[in-house]
Structure 1
Amino acid sequence: MSPTRRIDPRRIATTLLLLLPLLGGCSSLGYYASLAQGQRALLKAREPIERIVGDEQRDPELRRRLQKVQEARRWAVGHLKLPDNQSYTTYADLGRPYVVWNVFAAPELSLEPLQNCFPLIGCMAYRGYYRQQQAEQRADQLRHQGYDVHVGGVPAYSTLNWFADPVLSTMMRWSDEVLVGMIFHELAHQVVYVRDDTAFNESYAEFVEEQGLQEYLAEKGGTREAWQLFDRRRHEFVDLVLATRSRLVQVFSADLSDSDKRAAKKRQFEQLAQDYQQLRDGPWAGYAGFDGWFAKGEPNNARLLPFALYDEHKPAFAVIFQQAGGDWAKFHGAVRELSKLPSGQRLERLRTLARQQTGMDTP
């Protein structure tokens, strides 16, 4: 749900020794060792949710929310046809605000993300760190190389069932609805995962999260008015950012000088800030819940990347879901078949499906 999420350290913790001959340079060794150490510490912190819920000496609010997780997870297995395994049956208190920090980077005049490639799991559009300081150091290196850079905290990630992923204390920062949605999202990653295609993986899981949460709340007695209002505003904000991204794609592909592209880029980000202010001060009646996105610094290409990765193909997955008649098993099966296509064919199919929903071409 949130714009920035998830590193996939799949299998790294248990296969580090096998990978050492493949890694070039001390910096790579240090990075993989850090991932292994972070994953081991996370797994060591786990304790069964059932034990916490049954212990009346534990924090009542924590127990209530973990009971909510138990209920939502059972519902997801039966209704959404998500995996029934040991993931999210344990809880880990990490004592920090995020589990990892993801580093995104893009060229100054492009929205193509810098790819980060790993043995066994392929390439992703970000690189994750268990320590914020390490993430900031990597970001500084990339800035010195001329990249636009963004560091975003991540509340949860999936190891694709290589480990029994726990519910994390970092997932408890927001509402019950967000917590439940994250469980759906992370379990979806265990159903379909495509090597080297972050946008496909995240858009699919994001659709499962949003559609699944909508059905879950409807069955459990409807949604809270406050959540409905926040969710609507969140989508409106995302729409603003994606519209800016679409215009920038046109700018960067135009036959212009680099100086003209830089000037146009600056105008587009200024327009985004103005559009947001009008939305905030107008229809939102002063609601400033997304001011923090602008307060983090001047927007740049890298800060747009998470929005594209998580939302780019959602319209296509909505069409697949409609074609499946709302049957989740058929939907997941259709997505699996789509995932088997070569990358170029898969992307073209996604764009065709999106046009069926929107009635217009996607950039």
Structure 2
Amino acid sequence: MRRGLALMALALLGAGCASTTGVGYYWQSVTGHLRLMQAARPVDDWLADAQAPERLKERLALARRIRAFAVTELALPDNASYHRYADLQRRAAVYNVVAAPALSLTLQTWCFPVAGCVGYRGYFDEADARAFARTLPADLEVVVYPVPAYSTLGWMNWAGGDPLLNTFIGYPEGELARIVFHELAHQVAYARGDTEFNEAFATSVERLGGARWLTTQASEQARTDYAVFDQRRRAFRSLTFSVRQQLQDIYRDTTIDDAEKARRKATAMTGFHRSYQDLKRGWGGFAGYDPFVAQANNASFAAQAAYDGLVPAFEALFEREGRDFARFYDAVRTLAALPKEERQTQLRRLAPAGAPQVARHP
């Protein structure tokens, strides 16, 4: 999935309801986040540390410039977040569990006091995530995937804020910029219980901000490297969007029974795997999306849709606001304050002709 391709995991804020999640989930969320915070040290300390690798220092210096750019050029929050760094000694910040029915692209949701209802469960330990996944009903399709970063929506800035992590500090320059912009955007606006809105807004900020960073700040080599990376991502995104549309059409077809839907779904998935292999050959064997493809099912396609389904509407809103980030954020906060159905109606009106439509399900 994304950033490796994944949903934002609000593990700490999503862990507060013992009646629905159990004390164990609450405990792993709180202790996992506290360990992450305790591992973080100020970037200045790392830069002054004679034992720190020079490559890490270079990346941290780059992240510092990206963080400053986020404030001065993108009007993102100027606060404690991303001024510290932690090496978690693992490949992901958290692991998300997502699930969907066999003949639907609607994610299973879990509801929490602060985050509202969201389409994932975040775990700091991969084994815990997989153990939970095994408890889900057999008629659900389930995916567990690594998430390199998550946002606490600014709630933890008093304690040092969200830190830079080893799980993404080594990303290509353009992608490092995008992930910082994405996570900071979650501190600008958040609609409780509306994952699609929140993720698409943050994704629109990362795309707009990332493009501006590459154009004005990055080296020619960084722009060239990112162009190759982004071309592959766009091609893969186009492929998965096409497959999502095929699956959605199959599931919504009231003229066929479930057995025929399952047969057509299998055909669509076979075509997806074949088309992906064609893409890989054109990429010289680049295998960056292999993990997604290997476990692709309704849950993974639905989770990916939460990131990009509404982006065209947000990009249209940015244009409407004169490409001014501060005005754009004010307009997004106004939308976030609306009831969900009214918010979706306004986004549908903003979406350009031919763009993916805002979901109408609650």
Judge same fold: TM > 0.5, yes or no. yes
**Contact 2:149 2:167 (C-alpha < 8 Å) held by counterparts:** yes
Given the alignment of the two structures, is residue 352 of structure 1 paired with residue 349 of structure 2, yes or no? yes
| Paired residues for 1:82-93 under 5 Å | 82-93=76-87
Counterpart check, 1:146 vs 2:139: yes
For the residue of structure 1 that corresponds to 2:7, the secondary structure is: coil
Structure 1 66/353 Cα, relative in aligned 2: closer, same or farther at 3 Å? same
Q: Distance in 1 between matches of 2:9 and 2:291?
A: 23
Deviation at 1:10, TM superposition (A): 4.5
Q: Kindly indicate whether residue 12 of structure 2 is the aligned counterpart of residue 39 of structure 1.
A: no
> 1:24 and 2:19 equivalent?
yes
2:203 corresponds in structure 1 to 206
Matched, 1:65 2:22: no
**Partner residue in 1 for 2:167:** 170
1:210, distance to aligned residue in structure 2 (A)? 1.2
Contact 2:11 2:121 in 1 (8 A): no
* Residues 250-261 of structure 1 aligned to structure 2 (within 5 Å): 250-255=249-254, 256-261=256-261
* TM-score normalised per structure 1: 0.91
Q: Counterpart of 2:304 in 1: which secondary structure?
A: helix
Aligned residue for 2:128? 134
1:5-24 aligned at under 5 Å gives the runs: 5-11=7-13, 23-24=18-19
Larger CA deviation: 101-110 vs 248-257: 248-257
The number of residues matched between the two structures is 350
Alpha-carbon offset, residue 340 of structure 1: 2.0
The match for 2:239 is: 240
Deviations 1:308-357 (A, max 9, x none): 0100101011101111121111111111112222211211222222234x
Could you tell me which of 302, 317, 321 is aligned with 1:320?
Answer: 317
Give, in angstroms, the shift of residue 61 of structure 1: 0.7
- Identify unmatched segments of 5+ residues in structure 1: none
Asked if 1 retains the 8 angstrom alpha-carbon contact of 2:243 and 2:268, the reply is yes
Structure 1 350/262 Cα, relative in aligned 2: closer, same or farther at 3 Å?
Answer: same
How far did residue 361 of structure 1 move?
6.0
* 1:125–1:67 CA distance, 2 compared to 1 (3 A): same
Give the secondary-structure state (helix, strand or coil) at the position aligned to 1:192. Answer: coil
8 Å Cα contact 1:355/1:361 also seen in 2: no
Tell whether the 8 Å contact from 2:133 to 2:144 is kept in structure 1 after alignment.
Answer: yes
1:177-188 alignment to 2 at 5 Å?
A: 177-188=174-185
**1:197 — aligned with what?**
194
Deviations 1:53-76 (A, max 9, x none): 123332111111011111111111
AA in 2 matched with 1:93:
D
Could you say which residue in structure 1 is the equivalent of 2:112?
118
The amino acid of 2:210's aligned partner reads L
Shift of 1:183: 0.7
Mapped contact 1:101–1:131 kept (Cα < 8 A): yes
The normalised TM-score by structure 2 is: 0.91
